[in-house]
């Protein structure tokens, strides 16, 4: 049974349809990415899923229980990390955690222990009693995530958690999400960074203009649009002979050469790269550099919508 | 429990900002002190006098005017100097003794002493009463001396000396007050200043607390609270209770602090507590309503100051309600401040109990019953939309 089932989710503001018939499901310990540009409907979808925004139509089921804005029981299972730094900036990290812990119903020794655990997880133990307003962007982001973990959620919903943070903090955040997924938490992750979706997500849903265009694993998505890997070899020697030898390999889709390089189109570059290099070496050609361009979600998005993710 | 956690967090956050500590704790007491001084009591009045050096009798009058402890007679060089000093408020009032004062009195001629005062200076009324009672007393002695001299009983100066020394029973006016006096005898100036300022600051602090509410919503904290297993009702009630706690804290601080620092007597504790509680509820409701109208902080900052100070001014907590004209008095009673003011007047000045302020409490409760549910409803809508 999926931990989260979303069916026919719809939300409109007057004439503008923000989310239109969005459906997907997330299993236990699965990380699902909602990938789309700004304004695609990711945050509106998430707001309805976590139960802070009424939906016009559709259904959200969490751990088998119907869920909406009034569902207190199912909200106990969700950890929500909003896009903005939703913290009291005039309070310390510890005070923020304590406040939200109380809203999750924690108290007494359990509350204190959990606060210390979270401070440790987000690496803010030594800054626990400092006000958030004095934190760097990355530290505030980490605390923002920490609040979402207070209740040991079964479903963690993160809305663009790395927006505006430095590369180091971004990496720390991504590692935290990976660790949580390893611990069995189901993660719903929205981003417009293709690299994050590719690194973190077991499955990805591509959303644009309020509609979920396609979903699946990275390979399934890439396969849907028929993309192939492209291997580029910078080489010296008889390139024409090398091209002829490569063309005899049935696994390769296309081989071409020009201006000191050979280009090979292949369905699985990683698997066939040793064979390609061996064949080229056998042709007496010396390879200087090798580049493998795998088809990515960016190209899938481009193919589906005709525009780039960051447009 | 969650409602309490949200409410107490609001109070905690109030004191995280050092400027709040100054404005909520220090400024009200400074204002009570300054307004107390302004309302009188211990303040020295300056009475400018021209012509005191024109003769011994003029000097006598000037000296007589200066016999009251709280009146300082300030000799002025000319009528022009005196006018300028009164107009600029450097003297509360002025007395012009004519240069022919001594000669006219000795010759038995009528003398006119002129009194200068600004029309809007109500402290000068007290000085005026003093001048109007001192001059006739002096005139009576001079009249007796003049009469003795005219009848050839003795000289003018000897007659004046003897009249001064005489202890004759006279006619006195015995005043019996019926109904309420505006300011009872022995009433402290701080008792006068503190209640209106309590109303002003309690409401103003509530209004400025609306800013925090908008910030909480805009920063996404309200939405985040709603994503936890906390109902919208609990969040809104917590925020409402937070505003109420802040207003009550401000009011109680002023009550207890002014009692301790300035010996302000707030009258019947039950009545004072009831007035403060209902007035705080009005402030909380107004703050919730104001915060729900706007999606940015800017307008709330402006409006909280305008409403907090404007309603206080119209409601008679800056200038005493008793000094309002008929129309303004009626307008004032469209604000809760005027009703709160009247309630505290009954308790503080006239020793009334909670039973005596039931009409005021009734109107204030009606204000609260409209504003508070409206504020809660609007805030809930703002959080969940």
Of all residues in chain B, the percent with pLDDT exceeding 70 is: 92
Distance CA A157, CA B360 (A): 52
Residues of B in contact with A105 (CB under 8 A): 229
For chain A, the residues whose C-beta falls within 8 A of a C-beta of chain B are: 47, 50-52, 54, 69-70, 72-73, 75-76, 78, 80, 82-91, 95, 99-100, 102-105, 131, 147, 151
Hey, where are the domains in chain A? Answer: 4-223, 228-294
| pLDDT for the residue numbered B368 | 95
Give me the mean pLDDT over the B255-282 stretch: 91
Residues of A in contact with B229 (CB under 8 A): 72-73, 75-76, 103-105
Q: Does B180 touch chain A (CB under 8 A)?
A: no
Contact A72 B16 (CB under 8 A): no
Tokens of A35: 């990938």
Give me the mean pLDDT over the B225-229 stretch: 92
* Closest by Cβ to B230, choosing from A86, A103, A147: A103
Residue B69 neighbours by CB under 8 Å, 6+ apart: none
Residues of A in contact with B216 (CB under 8 A): 88
A16: number of CA atoms within 13 Å, CB side? Answer: 7
Cα of B3 to nearest chain A Cα, Å: 9
Give B282's pLDDT tier (boundaries 50, 70, 90).
Answer: very high
Common-topology check for domains A4-223 and A228-294: no
CA distances to A30, A98, A124, B27, B36 from A121, in Å: 21, 15, 8, 44, 57
| pLDDT for the residue numbered B187 | 63
Q: Are A96 and A147 in contact (CB under 8 A)?
A: yes
Residues of B in contact with A104 (CB under 8 A): 228-229
| pLDDT for the residue numbered B27 | 83
Q: Does B297 touch chain A (CB under 8 A)?
A: no
What's the average pLDDT block by block, 10 residues per block, for chain A (311 residues)? Answer: 90 91 91 87 92 92 91 91 92 94 90 92 90 90 91 91 82 86 90 85 90 88 72 89 90 81 83 91 91 76 64 47
| pLDDT for the residue numbered B41 | 54
Contact B228 A104 (CB under 8 A): yes
Q: Does B223 touch chain A (CB under 8 A)?
A: yes
Most B CBs within 10 A among A13, A71, A103, hence the mutation to make, goes to A103
Would the pLDDT of B371 be above 90? Answer: yes
- In CATH, the number for domain A228-294 is 3.30.70.100
* pLDDT (tens digit per residue) in B330-363: 999 999 999 999 999 899 888 888 899 999 999 9
Most B CBs within 10 A among A13, A14, A50, A52, hence the mutation to make, goes to A52
Chain B: residue whose CA lies nearest to A107 = B1
Q: 3-class secondary structure for chain B?
A: CHHHHHHHHHHHHHCCCHHHHHHHHHHHHHHHHHHHHHCCCCCCEEEEEECHHHCHHHHHHHHHHCCCCCEEEEEECCHHHHHHHHHCCCCCEEEECCCCHHHHHHCCCCCCCEEEECCCCCHHHHHHHHHHHHHHHHHHHHHHHHHHHHCCCCCHHHHHHHHHHCCCCCCCCCCCCCCCCCCCCCCCHHHHHHHHHHHHHHHHHHHHHHHHHHHHHHCCHHHHHHHCCCCHHHHHHHHHHHHHHHHHHHHHHHHHHHHHHHCCCCCCHHHHHHHHHHHHHHHHHHHHHHHHHCCCHHHHHHHHHHHHHHHHHHCCCCCCHHHCCHHHHHHHCCCHHHHHHHHHHHHHHCCCCHHHHHHHHHHHHHHHHHHHHHHHHHHHHHHHC
According to DSSP, the residues that pair with A255 across neighbouring strands are: A264
Contact B228 A54 (CB under 8 A): no
ipTM: 0.78
Q: Are A177 and A170 in contact (CB under 8 A)?
A: no
Q: Does B18 touch chain A (CB under 8 A)?
A: no
Q: Does B20 touch chain A (CB under 8 A)?
A: no
| pLDDT for the residue numbered A311 | 47
Please report the residues numbered 192 through 221 in chain B whose beta carbons come closer than 8 angstroms to any beta carbon of chain A: 216, 219-221
CA distances to A40, A50, B322 from A46, in Å: 12, 6, 59
Residues of A in contact with B17 (CB under 8 A): 90
According to DSSP, the residues that pair with A31 across neighbouring strands are: A187
Closest to B147 measured CA to CA, from B156, B136, B138, B139 = B156
Contact B224 A78 (CB under 8 A): no
Give B122's pLDDT tier (boundaries 50, 70, 90).
Answer: low
Closest to B190 measured CA to CA, from B255, B126, B253, B123 = B255
A135 burial (CB, 10 Å; 0-12 / 13-18 / 19+) is: buried
Give me the mean pLDDT over the B248-275 stretch: 90
| pLDDT for the residue numbered B183 | 57
Contact B231 A72 (CB under 8 A): yes
Topology classification of domain B45-165: abc type-2 transporter like fold (3.40.1710)
| pLDDT for the residue numbered A118 | 92
Contact B9 A88 (CB under 8 A): yes
Q: Cα-flanking dihedrals φ and ψ of residue A292, to 5°?
A: -115, 120
Would the pLDDT of B205 be above 80? Answer: yes
Chain B: residue whose CA lies nearest to A49 = B227
- In CATH, the number for domain A4-223 is 3.40.50.300
Contact B219 A70 (CB under 8 A): no
Cα of B372 to nearest chain A Cα, Å: 23
First to last CA, chain A: 37
Residues of B in contact with A91 (CB under 8 A): 9, 12-13, 16
- In chain B, residues under CATH classification 3.40.1710.10 are 45-165
B163-182 burial, b at 16+ Cβ within 10 Å, e below that, comes to beeeeeeeeeeeeeeeeeee
Q: Does B230 touch chain A (CB under 8 A)?
A: yes
Would the pLDDT of B221 be above 80? Answer: yes
| pLDDT for the residue numbered A127 | 92
Q: Does B384 touch chain A (CB under 8 A)?
A: yes
Tokens of A292: 């493998």
Would the pLDDT of B294 be above 60? Answer: yes
Contact B219 A80 (CB under 8 A): no
Ranking A31-40, B200-209, B304-313, B315-324 by mean pLDDT, the lowest is: B315-324
* Cα B363 from chain centre: 23
| pLDDT for the residue numbered B320 | 80
Do you know the residue count of chain B? Answer: 385
């Amino acid at each position: 049974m999926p931990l989260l089932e979303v069916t026919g989710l719809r939300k409109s503001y007057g004439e503008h349809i923000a989310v239109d018939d969005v459906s997907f499901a997330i299993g236990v310990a699965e990380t699902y990415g909602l990938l789309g540009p700004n304004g695609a409907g990711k945050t509106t979808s998430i707001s309805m899923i976590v139960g802070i925004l009424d939906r016009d139509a559709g259904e959200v089921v969490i751990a088998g229980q119907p869920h909406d804005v009034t569902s207190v029981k199912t909200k106990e299972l969700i950890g929500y990390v909003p896009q903005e730094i939703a913290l009291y900036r005039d309070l310390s990290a510890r005070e923020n955690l304590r406040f939200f812990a109380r809203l999750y119903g924690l108290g007494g020794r359990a509350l204190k222990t959990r606060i210390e655990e979270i401070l440790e997880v987000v690496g803010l133990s030594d800054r626990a009693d400092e006000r958030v307003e004095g934190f760097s962007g990355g530290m505030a982001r980490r605390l923002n995530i920490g609040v979402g973990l207070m209740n040991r959620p079964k479903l963690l919903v993160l809305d663009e958690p790395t927006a505006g943070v430095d590369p180091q903090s971004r990496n720390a955040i991504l590692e935290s999400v990976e660790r949580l997924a390893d611990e069995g938490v189901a993660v719903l992750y929205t981003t417009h960074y293709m690299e994050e979706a590719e690194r973190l997500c077991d499955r990805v849903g591509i959303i644009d203009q309020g509609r979920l265009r396609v979903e699946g694993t990275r390979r399934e998505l890439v396969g849907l649009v028929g993309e192939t890997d492209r291997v580029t070899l910078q080489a010296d020697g008889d390139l024409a002979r090398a091209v002829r030898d490569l063309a005899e390999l049935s696994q390769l889709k296309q081989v071409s050469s020009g201006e000191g390089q050979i280009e090979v189109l292949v369905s699985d570059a990683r698997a066939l790269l040793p064979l390609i290099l061996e064949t080229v070496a056998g042709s007496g050609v010396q390879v200087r550099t090798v580049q493998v361009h795998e088809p990515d979600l960016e190209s899938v998005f481009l193919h589906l919508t005709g525009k780039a993710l960051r447009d | 429990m969650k409602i309490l956690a949200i409410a107490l967090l609001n109070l905690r956050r109030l004191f995280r900002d050092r400027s709040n500590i100054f404005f909520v704790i220090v400024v009200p007491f400074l204002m009570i002190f300054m307004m107390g001084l302004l309302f009188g009591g211990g303040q020295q009045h300056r009475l400018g006098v021209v012509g005191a050096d024109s003769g011994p009798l003029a000097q006598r009058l000037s000296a007589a005017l200066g016999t009251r402890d709280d009146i300082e007679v300030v000799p002025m060089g000319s009528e022009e100097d005196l006018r300028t000093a009164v107009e600029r408020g450097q003297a509360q009032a002025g007395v012009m003794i004519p240069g022919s004062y001594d000669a006219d009195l000795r010759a038995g001629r009528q003398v006119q002493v002129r009194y200068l005062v600004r029309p809007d200076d109500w402290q000068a009324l007290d000085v005026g009463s003093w001048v109007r009672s001192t001059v006739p007393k002096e005139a009576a002695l001079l009249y007796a001396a003049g009469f003795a001299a005219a009848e050839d009983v003795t000289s003018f100066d000897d007659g004046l000396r003897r009249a001064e020394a005489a202890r004759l029973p006279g006619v006195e006016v015995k005043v019996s007050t019926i109904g309420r006096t505006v300011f009872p005898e022995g009433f402290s100036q701080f008792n006068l200043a503190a209640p209106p300022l309590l109303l002003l600051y309690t409401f103003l602090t509530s209004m400025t607390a609306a800013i925090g509410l908008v910030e909480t919503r805009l920063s996404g904290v309200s939405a985040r609270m709603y994503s936890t297993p906390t109902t919208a009702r609990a969040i809104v009630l917590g925020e409402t209770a937070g505003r109420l706690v802040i207003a009550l804290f401000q009011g109680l601080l002023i009550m207890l602090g002014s009692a301790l620092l300035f010996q302000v007597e707030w009258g019947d504790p039950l009545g004072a507590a009831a007035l403060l509680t209902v007035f705080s509820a009005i402030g909380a409701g107004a703050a919730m309503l104001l915060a729900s109208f706007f999606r940015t902080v800017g307008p709330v900052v402006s409006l909280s100051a305008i409403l907090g100070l404007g309603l206080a001014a119209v409601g008679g907590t800056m200038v005493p309600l008793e000094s309002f004209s008929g129309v303004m008095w009626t307008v004032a009673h469209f604000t809760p401040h005027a009703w709160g003011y009247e309630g505290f007047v009954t308790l503080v000045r006239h020793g009334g109990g909670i039973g005596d302020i039931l009409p005021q409490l009734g109107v204030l409760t009606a204000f609260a019953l409209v504003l508070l549910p409206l504020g809660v409803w609007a805030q809930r809508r703002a959080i969940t939309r």
